[in-house]
Chain A
Amino acid sequence: MLTIENFSATYRQNGRPLPGATNIAFSLAAGENLGIIGESGCGKTTLALGIMGLLPEATISGRVLLNGRELTTMTERELRRIRWRQIAMVFQNSLEVLNPVITLGEQLTEPLTTHLELTAGEAKERVTEMLAATGLDPKWMTAFPHQISGGMRQRALIAMALACRPELLIIDEPTTSLDPENRRLVLDLLEDLQSSMGFAMILISHNLPAIRLLTGRLLTMYGGRIIEEGNTSEVLRHPLHPYTRGLINAAPEFFPYKDLWGIPGDPPEPGLITGCGFTPRCCQAGAACTQEPPELSEQGKGRWVACHKGGIETVLSAEGLVKNYFLGKEKIKALKGVDLHVRRGEVVALVGKSGSGKSTFAQVLSRAIAADSGMVRFLGKPVYTRQATAMIGGIQLVFQDPGEAVSHRLTVRDAVREPLDIISFKGKNEREQKIKEALTAMHLPTSEAFLRSTCHGLSGGQRQRVAIARALVMEPTLLVADEITAMLDPSTQAVILRELKGLQHQRGFSMLFISHNLHLARKIADRVYVLDEGYIVEEGAAFEVFAGQIDSPSRQMVAIIKN
């Protein structure tokens, strides 16, 4: 029904072109629901207004086809007949979206008298009908917009948009400014109205639960471009673009217990960046990313992403890991074929009871012990040696007991410098500088006195910080944190965890957080694996696993932490 090809809208500001939307292409079938998400200013509303031909101040290129008719070349007079009759819009709810000096009744009936040439009486009847359908008492028709509440105004806006029974309804942020109850009611209302009236819908929203409830397909927009497209539930569960993932991770509805972290940095000034606009904020940007903007490319059926790296890279993949121990002649199966993937910039929690095989898994990853079978890949390359842990940008591990992990005889300086010494990193001064950076990052002093003190004089918390700093000097791409806070008091644990998550967020490394503490995992994880008796019994996006939406034996586990 609606096809958009190569659509671009460019504003002008102080004589400088300011792209509002660039190379937008998608199509929408009759009755289909499409969601559009993205930060403020990413071009969502520009696109919506562009479809309706309501951007007189912008230069438009490309095509907008409605049932085969080209809209961008139509005269204003022709467009006027399309507007509201075929494409209607529920504008973002604000005090000024309705005319303050005209009654609701007149504002609701005027499209009917204009487009359907109804008499005043017929129009009023139709509006009364629509208001009843949207749950607003028709007595409010004599009221002025400022006399009704935000929720009522939202209903009036919906009634107004649907009055002419359009084929396509564009809805801009229907739930912002509504309280949770009204939000729910408005979403249910839209769902009901759509099933009875059968219009297609483009839903623009920051509210991901609304998107998940109402739409089947999802576009993510950034800097005026579509950067990801796919089936809504697949995109939300398994985003391919780091930006989409950042949007999802910032949604409190999805992560009621996790600390919220927005996408670091700000969107680029439109028109100023040559390469991929997300490069300065991305956890996996490379040299190619600054050259030219990436095109959408298909990654699996119906999934499209605009990324030079083909979407979020997989940092670590463990496939079919098996490890057996022998206690005398008895064979203890610690890992019975574990598959696990960690992607760029994400925090994956591996949770399980004591003895479920978590630590064995960590040791296999670091090649401290060898697996009996299975394969570990780091950045796509198989790991056979300990090379991956002995390089800048490799894998680093931090363990539960800092007292054992860091020799108490070493000075702080030596302890942190040791991994650099092992790989013979550059010169003495560079190493010294990296030590100080890492210590500062972990909020430790860098005074000579502290650097010279030996580790056994430090508190448990400080010692764990030294251990983390020791991992950070290697600028790991993947940090494996194995029960790192289990021996700390709750306050120190909270402080260290927040600091570590902050560093992870800022530097964009990936983290595999191994813990038996589900409460902690829930505070920090984007994705979760549950390990039980050597098997992965459950895996998925944290908001799904912890919401208990996936049926599996470990739901009991989730039930336990819920009590």
Chain B
Amino acid sequence: MEMKATEQNRRRFFDYLFTLFIVVSLNFALPRLMPGDPFLYLSGDHGEEIARFSTDQIDAYRHQYGLDKPWPAQYAASLFALLRGDLGYSIYYNKEVSTILLNRLPWTLLLVLSAVFFSTVIGCLLGSLSASFRGKALDRLLYPLMIAVAEIPAFLLGLMLLFFLAAGLRLFPLSGAMTHFAGTAGFWHTFVDIAHHAFLPVLTLTMVRTGAMYLLARNAMTTVLARDYVRTARAKGLSTARILARHSLRNAMVPIVTRVFLSLGGLVGGAILVENVFAYPGLGRLMRESVLVHDYPMIQGIFLLVTGAVLSANFLADCIYRRLDPRIGLSTEVQP
């Protein structure tokens, strides 16, 4: 019955490859189904539908970007380009799509990874505390509080923080990722500047995610603490620390870590609202701009990146899950 682990991995890999192919195809089709035309907005401001070009000029542009060819030909061309690593040329920004993505990606990663890190650590800590003091005062205080926090929409929280802390108290900058022309002031200075700018977006994302992580951790720990093997550990007279860390958390980490990795992919796209609220130059903001101006190659590039992130996060979660829980798949080889 049991497949060899390598065989299993290969199969899983092809599953993901196939999914990617489907997504690429959808990615090709979706922008073309949107109403409107990129050349209508080429030099218009957002939302203004001003046709600046003559019919001849539009035809010329269409020819230049290959948009006058039939769909199957465009599809084939885009697939081949993709295989070469060519994501196309942004119509609106007038640059290589890949170049723009590479410029923007680090900012989004900065926000997302920091938020994931902080929310996971805080959520797990509070969740474990709540579970071990279940029904006691601490738990009764934390539980409703965290549920409330988890329910606040990200943009609302962002707006409130922006309004009070940035606009009102002027503690933080209103927009951007760093002060313009601040790059010359030395490494430490730059670091502080970047952290200062990222603080509110990261805080927003962290707060929004901590509630969910807390609930997950509390639930996982509560389940684990009621298990027979924890009772066995207690009967063995082991120290509380060992019972919590080695016997309980180790088991509770299985769902938690899986969830963290699963959510990593989604978060790349999930930062859209927050990035827009704080005018943060990440992928989310880029996506909004591109959609407004119908920049097909740009939109496709972003979608592809987000999809790739989601799929690789899933793949990673799959692998990690198997690592954490010896009962699944791989471990059948461990036997001496």
Contacts and interface: CB of A to CB of B under 8 A. Distances in A.
Contacts of B324: 101
A110 B236 contact: yes
Contact of A114 (B239, B247, B326, B336): B239
A91 B236 CA distance: 11
Given A96-B229, A100-B327, A115 B237 contact: yes
21 contacts: A79-B237, A80-B238, A91-B235, A97-B229, A99-B232, A99-B233, A100-B327, A101-B325, A102-B250, A110-B236, A110-B238, A110-B242, A111-B237, A114-B238, A140-B336, A142-B336, A144-B327, A144-B334, A146-B326, A147-B332, A160-B236
A115 B236 CA distance: 9
A114 B228 CA distance: 20
B6 interface: no
Contacts of B331: 144, 147
A interface bracket (residues with beta carbon within 8 Å of B): 20 to 34
A100 B233 CA distance: 12
A225 interface: no
B62 interface: no
Contact of B251 (A84, A101, A139): A101
B326 A100 contact: yes
Interface in B229-258: 229, 231-240, 242, 246-247, 250-251, 254
Given A91-B231, A147-B334, A100 B237 contact: no
Contacts of A146: 326-327
A115 B238 CA distance: 8
A94 B228 contact: yes
A142 B238 CA distance: 21
Interface in A342-367: none
Interface string A105-144: 0000011001100000000000000000000000110111
B74 to A, nearest CB: 51
A140 B332 CA distance: 13
A438 interface: no
A82 B237 CA distance: 7
B55 interface: no
A88 B238 CA distance: 13
Contacts of A147: 331-332, 334-335
B170 interface: no
B4 interface: no
B227 interface: yes
A96 B251 CA distance: 12
Nearest to A110: B238
Interface in B78-110: none
Interface in A85-104: 85, 88-89, 91, 94, 96-102
A54 interface: yes
Interface in B167-183: none
Nearest to B331: A144
A119 to B, nearest CB: 17
A335 interface: no
A286 to B, nearest CB: 42
A146 B2 CA distance: 15
Nearest to B246: A102
Contacts of A110: 236, 238, 242
A102 B230 CA distance: 12
B236 A97 contact: no
A94 B242 CA distance: 22
A142 B326 CA distance: 12
Contact of B229 (A49, A85, A88, A100): A100
- From A76, A80, A140, name the one whose CB has the most chain B CB atoms within 10 angstroms: A80
A481 B69 CA distance: 102
A29 B96 CA distance: 86
Interface string B312-335: 000000000000111100011011
Contacts of B251: 99-101
Contacts of B247: 99, 102
A208 to B, nearest CB: 25
Contacts of B228: 91, 94, 96-97
Contacts of A160: 236
Interface of A: 49, 52, 54, 76, 79-85, 88-89, 91, 94, 96-102, 110-111, 114-115, 139-140, 142-144, 146-147, 160
A110 B236 CA distance: 9
A102 B327 CA distance: 11
Given A100-B327, A101-B254, A102-B246, 12 more contacts: A54-B231, A79-B237, A83-B236, A101-B324, A101-B325, A101-B326, A111-B238, A114-B237, A114-B238, A114-B242, A147-B331, A160-B236
Contacts, number: 86
A98 B332 CA distance: 18
A140 B336 CA distance: 7
B165 to A, nearest CB: 43
A97 B335 CA distance: 20
Contacts of A80: 237-239
Nearest to B253: A101
Contacts of B325: 100-101
A367 to B, nearest CB: 62
A78 to B, nearest CB: 10
A186 to B, nearest CB: 18
Contacts of B254: 101
Nearest to A170: B235
A114 B238 CA distance: 7
A42 to B, nearest CB: 20
Nearest to A92: B228
A462 B68 CA distance: 98
Nearest first, the 8 closest Cβ-Cβ pairs linking A and B are: A83-B237, A99-B229, A80-B237, A96-B228, A144-B326, A84-B237, A111-B236, A139-B336
Given A114-B239, A144-B327, A101 B250 contact: yes
- From A49, A88, A140, A146, name the one whose CB has the most chain B CB atoms within 10 angstroms: A146
Given A99-B247, A100-B251, A139-B336, A84 B236 contact: yes
Given A101-B324, A144-B334, A89 B250 contact: no
B301 to A, nearest CB: 41
- From B235, B246, B327, B332, name the one whose CB has the most chain A CB atoms within 10 angstroms: B235
A85 B237 contact: yes
Nearest to A89: B235
A233 B228 CA distance: 33
A314 B142 CA distance: 64
Nearest to A85: B237
A518 to B, nearest CB: 47
A114 B327 contact: no
Contacts of B235: 52, 54, 83-84, 88-89, 91
A147 B336 CA distance: 11
B336 A143 contact: yes
Contacts of B240: 76
A274 B242 CA distance: 44
A89 B228 CA distance: 13
A58 to B, nearest CB: 13
A190 B335 CA distance: 28
- From A82, A101, A115, name the one whose CB has the most chain B CB atoms within 10 angstroms: A101
Contacts of A89: 235
B334 A142 contact: yes
A220 B232 CA distance: 25
Nearest to B254: A101
Contact of A81 (B231, B237, B242, B327): B237
Contacts of B326: 100-101, 144, 146
Contacts of B327: 100, 144, 146
Given A139-B336, A143-B336, A98 B232 contact: yes
B294 to A, nearest CB: 51
Contacts of B335: 142-143, 147
